[in-house]
Amino acid sequence: MAHPLLIDIGDQTTHETRYYIWSLPCDAKRFAEAARDHWGVENSLHWCLDISFGEDDSRVRSGHAPANLAIMGRFALSLIKQDPQRKIGVKASRKRAGWGNHYLLHLLRLA
């Protein structure tokens, strides 16, 4: 499925086409919901992992290390987001857990 876009940047308009693989019967509403759901995952998980954990800057490339670090990052993010007492951002919470065992143990008790 092709989805044409017009993007205005300043005085210029660019034309882009995004292609999607879609096997289900499609109407505009269902397609829009699926696209928003996809980007919702990107914005809530991947963006958070990149900003808070620097996942995109990681230089780990060999063996099972990239997969292991990805699992640990998602686990840590899940623990931080489950904390009902958290009043600071994810990045600050991650640092707080690394700086002292008190908060780290608090997060691990939530698991």
User: What is this structure's pTM?
Assistant: 0.64
Domains of the chain, by residue range, sit at 27-110
Helix-helix angle 101-110:90-99, to 10 degrees: 120
d(CA 96, CA 91) in angstroms, rounded, equals 9
Position 83 scores a pLDDT of: 95
Helix-helix angle 65-82:90-99, to 10 degrees: 100
Position 76 scores a pLDDT of: 94
Position 3 scores a pLDDT of: 61
Q: What is the mean pLDDT of each run of 10 residues along the chain (111 residues)?
A: 72 82 78 80 82 90 93 93 94 94 94 81
